């Protein structure tokens, strides 16, 4: 590396970097301290795990949506499907790093604008392999906690009974007045339960006022979902970013980090981004 004592510009850069790093760490520590009392309170709640999940999902959604750029065609397609009268689940699919989590997050934060109401939103990011039974139980818990607290203790343990309970719950939710939207990111990580297929619980038709958006990678899971849902119009594909979208994404990246590049660096970056790539790359 460069010797800071011999390169003033590099020395200033390192000093600025260290200053920003320390400031960010202090912000994180302050945030933890501020939230400690609230978290201690949540630990005493009987359904504390549900609240932890809600806090985690909200934090991830906010982080993704704040940095979201481009993908207007995909967002427009999902908006049309969510606000339509059609009742089948919506499937968002694309390669690894294509931005599925960011799109799901942006959908979550756009629902009020799209519907003109305050929908009930169940949002889950499936980061690790998870049993479908566990996920379904969490969804039922949140729906019950929203308007049917007396039903919480009635959630069945046995899988087939849980699937039936879930479907009955969706029917009840359809009569609450507000739209209910279930957003599940990364369903390819769902594991089958007790020998049943991974998507045995997924209704091919949803009650009026219930919407469901699932994201998954390309491959066999998409084929399985097509066989279950049967309507390819409900599938939205995340393709590679266009060259213009790549530049918009990079400009947003630099702006968010309060960085600037020279005209020469911009030319080099533009040339490097001419090849198709995912947002992650």
Residue among 81, 67, 65, 70 at smallest CA distance from 229: 81
Which has more pLDDT, 185 or 61?
Answer: 185
Cα gap 231→215, rounded to integer Å: 16
Average pLDDT score over residue span 137-165: 88
Average pLDDT score over residue span 125-141: 89
Residue among 231, 164, 160 at smallest CA distance from 196: 160
Share of the chain above pLDDT 90, in %: 34
pLDDT for 150 equals 76
Contact, 274 vs 243, CB < 8 A? yes
Phi/psi of residue 178, nearest 5 degrees: -90, 150
Cα dihedral across residues 74, 79, 80, 81: positive or negative: positive
Asked whether residue 53 carries a pLDDT value surpassing 80, the answer given is no
What global pTM score does this model have? 0.70
Cα gap 125→166, rounded to integer Å: 19
- Give per-residue pLDDT as tens, 232-251: 899 999 887 766 767 777 77
- Give per-residue pLDDT as tens, 159-202: 999 999 999 999 999 998 889 999 999 999 998 877 777 798 99
pLDDT for 43 equals 41
Cα gap 101→238, rounded to integer Å: 11
Report CA dihedral (127, 129, 134, 138) to the nearest 10 degrees: 10
pLDDT for 104 equals 92
């Amino acid at each position: 590396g460069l010797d800071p004592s011999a390169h003033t510009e590099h020395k200033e850069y390192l000093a600025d970097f260290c200053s920003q790093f320390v400031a960010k760490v202090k912000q994180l520590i302050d945030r933890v301290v501020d939230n400690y009392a609230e978290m201690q309170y949540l630990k005493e709640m009987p359904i504390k795990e549900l609240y932890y999940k809600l806090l985690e999902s909200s934090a991830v959604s906010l982080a993704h949506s704040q940095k979201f750029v481009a993908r207007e065609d995909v967002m427009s397609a999902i908006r049309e499907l969510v606000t339509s009268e059609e009742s089948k689940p919506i499937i968002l699919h694309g390669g690894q790093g294509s931005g599925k989590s960011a799109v799901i997050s942006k959908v979550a934060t756009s629902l009020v604008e799209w519907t003109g109401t305050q929908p009930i939103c169940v949002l889950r990011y499936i980061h690790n392999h998870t049993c479908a039974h566990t996920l379904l139980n969490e969804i039922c818990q949140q729906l019950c906690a929203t308007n049917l607290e007396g039903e919480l203790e009635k959630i069945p343990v046995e899988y087939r009974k849980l699937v039936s309970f879930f479907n009955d719950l969706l029917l009840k939710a359809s009569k609450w007045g507000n739209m209910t939207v279930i957003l599940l990111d990364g369903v390819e990580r769902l594991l089958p339960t007790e020998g049943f297929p991974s998507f045995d619980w997924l209704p091919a038709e949803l009650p009026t006022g219930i919407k469901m958006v699932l994201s998954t990678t390309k491959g066999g899971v998409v084929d399985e979902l097509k066989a279950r849902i049967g309507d390819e119009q409900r599938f939205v594909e995340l393709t590679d970013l266009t060259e213009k979208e790549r530049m918009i994404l990079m400009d947003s990246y630099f702006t968010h980090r309060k960085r600037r590049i020279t005209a020469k660096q911009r030319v080099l970056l533009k040339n490097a981004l001419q090849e198709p790539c995912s947002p992650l790359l």
